[in-house]
Homo-oligomer: A and B are copies of this chain.
Amino acid sequence: MLSKNKIKQIHALSLLKHRKAMRLFTAEGSRLVLDFLESDSRKVKELFASPEWLKTHGNRYPEVIKHEVTGQEMKKISNLKTPSEVLAVIAMPDEDKTASVEPGKWYLALDGIRDPGNLGTIIRTAEWFGIDTIFCSADTVDVFNPKVVQATMGSLSRVSIVYTGLTELFQKYKNIPVYGTLLEGIDISGIKNPEQGIILIGSEAQGISKELIPHINYRITIPPAETSKAESLNASIAAAVVCYALLR
């Protein structure tokens, strides 16, 4: 049986300050938890799961502490409306302070993405298109927010997320082209055979910050149809279309 204290500890991880203090986060659902176990099972500290789930999967990860929980107990610790059969408490990876950019590769840089679903979806999409590192400004939503973790669908276990000052990053790597998505710019489909770069995506409400604009080498846009009265595309949609257009 789970102690009240244990339930409280897990709940605490839904809040940023407790995640930062303990350097732990949670993930839920069988496929997602298995993705983390497969990528590096040493990082999964504890599993809370139904007897059936533990019977099927538990033996493969002898080093992880396991707790058998009832459906009622799972409801108490879950962040989901419909709790799943397993919740994992996972250690955050060591913070990457270096933020290094290699030539010949593609990166994403996110400038203040606030919506957890958008960040999670961008991470999932980035992996799909072959991007393994995403730079996030300090005011981007925390990647270990439970809603972000769920929306990544496991890609978080395989894509590196580096919180860093974007201005400093662009200054340090002046020779790497920065593609900034703006409402006015070159039609993205007109850019022929780009080979490397950092794709900069602005926040949902404000777009790209003023101080980053001078660092953009290619101002790009996804042109709307003539009939469209929509003001913009969702940030995760814009990121995906640009990744498709530039990386394929």
Which A residues have a C-beta under 8 Å from some C-beta of B? 31, 117, 121, 124-125, 127-130, 132, 151, 153-155, 158, 189, 222-234, 236-237, 240-241, 244-245, 247-248
Copies in the complex: 2
> Quick check: B225 and A130 within 8 Å, CB to CB?
yes
**Hey, which chain B residues are within 8 Å of A226, CB to CB?**
130
> Quick check: B130 and A230 within 8 Å, CB to CB?
no
Q: Which residue of B lies closest to A244 (CB)?
A: B241
Contact of A228 among B130, B224, B233, B236 (CB under 8 A): B130
**Hey, which chain B residues are within 8 Å of A225, CB to CB?**
127-130, 247
A158 to B129, CA, bound (A): 32
- Interface secondary structure of A, over-half rule: loop
> Quick check: B236 and A124 within 8 Å, CB to CB?
no
**Hey, which chain B residues are within 8 Å of A231, CB to CB?**
31, 153-154
> Quick check: A125 and B234 within 8 Å, CB to CB?
yes
Q: Which residue of B lies closest to A187 (CB)?
A: B248
A43 to B86, CA, bound (A): 46
A236 to B153, CA, bound (A): 14
> Quick check: B230 and A124 within 8 Å, CB to CB?
yes
> Quick check: B189 and A224 within 8 Å, CB to CB?
no
A127 to B228, CA, bound (A): 6
A230-B154 contact in complex given A236-B237, A240-B237, A241-B244, C-beta closer than 8 Å: yes
A226 to B154, CA, bound (A): 17
A31 to B205, CA, bound (A): 12
**Hey, which chain B residues are within 8 Å of A189, CB to CB?**
248
**Hey, which chain B residues are within 8 Å of A130, CB to CB?**
224-228
Q: Which residue of B lies closest to A204 (CB)?
A: B153
Contact of A233 among B128, B224, B227 (CB under 8 A): B128
> Which of A117, A227, A244, A247 has its CB near the most chain B CB atoms (within 10 A)?
A244
CB of A24 to closest CB in B, whole Å: 24
**Hey, which chain B residues are within 8 Å of A245, CB to CB?**
244
Contact of A124 among B127, B233, B240, B247 (CB under 8 A): B233
